Amino acid sequence: MVEEYDRVLDVVAENPGATVEELADLARDRGVTDTDLRELLSEAVNNEDVVEFDGRYWVMRTGEYRFNRYDHPET
């Protein structure tokens, strides 16, 4: 289940703002077929790895998804 969770996070990170239906198709393309995607997304939201707003999902910029450097013109 951990491997499936990580693959779902990768799919969300590569497709910011995608809906559950879009993520289901994209996850299926990456071999995530044996799981309940809604359950994994709910777990990811509860773990604060993913944020959901208005039925769309974005990965939080933590762990491997965070920037190495804060790229802002005032820094």
What domain range is 58 assigned to?
Answer: 2-62
Whether 72 is covered by a domain: the verdict is no
37 with 27: CB under 8 angstroms?
yes
Q: Quick one: tokens of 40?
A: 């994994």
The pLDDT score that the predictor gives to residue 70 is 46
Say which CATH number the domain at 25 has: 1.10.10.10
Quote the Cα angle for 54-19-8, to 5°.
120
Q: What integer is the mean pLDDT of 11-21?
A: 93
Q: What are 39-71's pLDDT values in tens digits?
A: 999 999 999 999 999 999 999 866 665 555 545
Per-residue pLDDT for 34 more than 80? no
Q: What integer is the mean pLDDT of 25-35?
A: 83
pTM given for the model: 0.77
In DSSP notation, 49-61 reads SEEEETTEEEE-S
Whether 75 is covered by a domain: the verdict is no
CA–CA separation, 9 and 14 (whole Å) = 9
